[in-house]
């Protein structure tokens, strides 16, 4: 059992064959499914809403990790809970009452994820670390798939990993954006353990082969990794 998880981002799937794509991603050995919800306001793009999350949950056999890139997420969290989300992520930049929003998610029996944009410092989540189940560090500016990985986020990943290790809690550290065969080792070395992969996964042509290639890259880091900072 690997300590790393691969989470294909449905945003890059063929929406016309959504259920088929979900099944194929699972059969290829994916550990999670990552679902990006965009409102055209917090981010410039519009993607999908709770009905599509419900359709994905219906065929999902692995955790459904919902990433909300929306303003006023409190208004919509209950619908994503009902849609079958396993975890719900909210952006620190979109939540003036972050602690309250995280409690709302947890009280619903769903894992709470706090998400940071590339330009947002680690310090902004320090106060809520005891309240989160997962931290997601954006490694591109949210809104679109297929963008280039921002390397300046690496020290932040390492810093948050240190906090997690010090806490002794089992908090997942997720990276999202531009993660591919040429970047996955770097983020693993800096302490990430869940890798969201959109275009790299769905444009690979052969999902199973791609998962195996990613696992091969991660193999050397299975036994814990010295921080590369
Ligand atoms: C971007 C989304 C990502 C996106 C990643 O706003 O949060 O989950 O799908 O896509 P890639 O892996 O192509 O950068
Ligand atoms: Zn995402």
Q: Is the CB of 194 under 6 A from ligand 1?
A: no
For residue range 119-151, list pLDDT tens digits in order.
999 999 999 999 999 999 999 999 999 999 999
* Nearest Cα to Cα of residue 46 among 147, 142, 176: 142
Q: In what order do the strands lie in the sheet with 134-138?
A: 5-8, 194-197, 172-176, 134-138, 111-116, 87-91, 64-69, 33-38
Average pLDDT, the chain: 97
Q: For residue 16, what are the CA distances in angstroms to 20, 29, 68, 210?
A: 9, 22, 22, 22
Give the helix/strand (H/E) hosting 116: strand 111-116
Q: Are 70 and 93 in contact (CB under 8 A)?
A: no
pLDDT band at 227 (very low <50, low <70, confident <90, very high): low
Residue 228 has pLDDT above 60, yes or no: no
pLDDT at position 213 is 98
Confidence band, pLDDT 50/70/90 cuts, at residue 229:
very low
> What would the mean pLDDT of 200-223 be, rounded to a whole number?
97
Residue 51 parent element (H or E): helix 50-59
Please give the Cα distance from 218 to 212 (Å, whole number).
10
Atom of ligand 1 nearest to the CA of 67: 7
- Mutating to test ligand 1, I would choose from 7, 10, 15, 36 the residue with most ligand atoms within 8 A of its C-beta, which is 36
pLDDT of 112 > 70? The answer is yes
pTM metric for this prediction: 0.97
**Residues involved in catalysis:** 36, 176
Mean pLDDT calculated for residue range 41-61: 98
Instruction: Indicate whether 218 pLDDT > 90.
Output: yes
In the reported structure, the alpha carbon of residue 34 is separated from the centroid of ligand 2 by a whole-number distance in angstroms of 7
């Amino acid at each position: 059992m690997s300590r790393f998880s691969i989470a294909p981002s449905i945003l890059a799937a063929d929406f016309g064959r959504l259920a088929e794509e979900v099944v194929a991603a699972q059969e290829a050995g994916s550990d999670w499914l990552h679902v990006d919800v965009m409102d055209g306001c917090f981010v410039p793009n519009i993607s999908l809403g709770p009905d599509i999350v419900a359709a994905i949950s219906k065929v999902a056999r692995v955790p459904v990790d919902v990433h909300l890139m929306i303003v006023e997420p409190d208004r919509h969290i209950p619908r994503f809970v009902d849609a079958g989300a396993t975890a719900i992520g909210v952006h620190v930049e979109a939540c003036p009452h972050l602690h309250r929003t995280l409690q709302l998610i947890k009280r619903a029996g769903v894992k709470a994820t706090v998400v940071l944009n590339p330009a947002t410092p680690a310090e902004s989540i320090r106060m809520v670390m005891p309240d989160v189940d997962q931290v997601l560090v954006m490694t591109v500016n949210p809104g679109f798939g297929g963008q280039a990985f921002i390397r300046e986020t690496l020290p932040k990943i390492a810093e948050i990993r240190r906090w997690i290790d010090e806490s002794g809690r089992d908090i997942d550290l997720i990276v999202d954006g531009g993660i591919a065969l040429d970047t996955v080792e770097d983020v693993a070395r800096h302490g990430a353990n869940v890798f969201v992969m959109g275009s790299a996964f769905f444009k690979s042509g052969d999902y199973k082969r791609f998962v195996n290639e990613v696992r091969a890259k991660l193999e050397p880091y299975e036994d814990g990794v010295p921080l590369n900072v």
